[in-house]
Amino acid sequence: MTTQTGIYRGGSYSAGRTGTHSEQAILGRGASRVQRTGDTLGFADERHLLAHQWLVDETYLFDAQSYQSWLDLLTDDIHYLMPVRVTTALGSGFDTAPGMAHFDEDKYSLSRRVARFLTEHAWTEDPPSRMRHHLTNVRTFATEDADHLIVESGVLLYRSRGDVREAAQMSYGREDLLRRTDDGWKLARRTILADDSVIRMQNLAVFL
């Protein structure tokens, strides 16, 4: 890991790029710039245990599609980003398409997506998908601010909908910024990087 540039094996930063992906995104310019410092926290560290439990609890909300409850776990300045992955040569210095994203969202746009699920027009999720988010490889990093933690995780999403179409799977990594607030820890930034450059799932109407 190279802490100065944020390069790490999970891929949340492209090789050679400094800063965060949010800095390159349209809606991410107001997002927090807090970054990791030092090596991973030990698995017995109270901060790691706290972050891991937070992610597990969030995963159960996703599986239950309790998206309104999930919105309560987001900060007002949340940036939710899923850049488009590209296949490049080893020394190219990047692995995402500049200026392109599957998701580039803030609190307002996320809340509008959740509100749409409650209407009769959410055809992509009516009937709803049956989902299981398998969470793994959780690593936690301290930051210069004790009220923020950086958390990496890997997720395998199994999604089945209807009785005819085959189930779909999607593997991706995430880098999250958790912030301590008066209402508990909340998600202030999420970068999602799919392990495929071509998304084969029928749609991305769900949250990752």
For residue range 121-176, what is the model confidence (pLDDT) as tens digits?
A: 766 666 778 899 999 999 999 999 999 999 999 999 999 876 767 888 999 999 99
pLDDT mean by block of 10 residues, the chain; 208 residues:
32 46 75 92 98 98 95 96 79 66 90 84 72 96 97 95 79 97 97 87 83
- The DSSP letter of residue 15 is T
Evaluate the CA torsion angle 50, 152, 154, 19 in order and state its sign. positive
Measure Cα distances from 70 to 60, 107, 111, 181, 201 in Å: 10, 11, 10, 16, 23
Single pTM value for the model:
0.84
| pLDDT, position 99 | 72
22 burial type by CB count under 10 A (0-12 exposed, 13-18 middle, 19+ buried):
buried
